[in-house]
A and B are shown apart, each in its own frame.
Chain A
């Protein structure tokens, strides 16, 4: 597969999108009335005045969810090469189908252990 083929289409799409965006924003700037006021710069928060700033410190309990997301993201990546070769495997190939199956489920089970630990320790519960 050459870059010029299918990626050329993608490149044209990207350039077209950027140009379209620029034209629309330029038209917008030319046609709109300009009435600046400090109220327009305030944060919109469901029609209520914003409390505190957006830069406040976050609760560490969110971190577990982000971390579990990363872990299972990596697991999903490992599933792809496994899924691609698994259809061609039989008992006589190297690796054998059973071996690949056991190896992958061992991997998944090890990761689920971490999830089970988090669950048991109650960090997934929000009280």
Chain B
């Protein structure tokens, strides 16, 4: 009961905010709507008893990633002149069509494998056969009372160590890329616009 209410509330907020992200005319406002959307998705994770994932969602996505989005938007500069407006009827129709195709493809991919009878495996149903697409995490969650964090840690340092170390390499490569792009000696845009001696408080 509580779970259903929580799901409906968070799903409603997530959907509304997602629509607002595309509908907002100001890019910064769209990014802020994205924060609301990501927080609502964190609430959905919480409803699925996945507390660690919910915390990651808030820390990394709603915190860091959106900050990065806002930085990129502000780097490009937001002017009142280039607020987003739909480029006529054809663009709107195309966007709606692509959206529907994407939604259909996702539904086709997820309904069945992840929502069918076989995917529902509680602690009493053991995964049997190769047709079974259930991830089988319910027994793990039952055995592990700290939101699957210990399970994640054990997997991370046994089966997925290579991927874990490679992710560090990936992050380092991204850092170096950002440093190379940002390493510029020219004046900041604020300094160019202002006459010398003027101070922005």
Contact = CB atoms under 8 A, between A and B. Distances in A.
B188 to A, nearest CB: 4
A61 B168 CA distance: 23
B75 A7 contact: no
Interface in A89-121: 94-95, 99-100, 103, 106-108, 110-111, 113-115, 117-118, 121
A68 B67 CA distance: 12
B197 to A, nearest CB: 13
Contacts of B176: 114, 117
Contacts, number: 161
Interface in A62-87: 62-64, 66-71, 73-78, 80-82, 84-86
Contact of A62 (B71, B153, B193): B71
Contacts of B6: 3, 7, 11
B123 interface: no
Contact of A58 (B75, B154, B200, B201): B75
Contacts of B201: 45-46, 48, 51
A58 B74 contact: yes
B70 to A, nearest CB: 8
Interface of A: 1-4, 7-8, 11, 45-46, 48, 51-53, 55-64, 66-71, 73-78, 80-82, 84-86, 88, 94-95, 99-100, 103, 106-108, 110-111, 113-115, 117-118, 121-123
A81 B169 CA distance: 19
Interface of B: 1-3, 6, 28, 46-47, 49, 52, 56, 59-60, 63-65, 67-68, 71-72, 74-80, 146, 149-150, 152-154, 156-158, 161, 164-165, 168-169, 171-172, 174-176, 178-179, 181-184, 188-190, 193-194, 198, 200-201
A59, A73, A111: residue with the most chain B Cβ atoms closer than 10 Å: A59
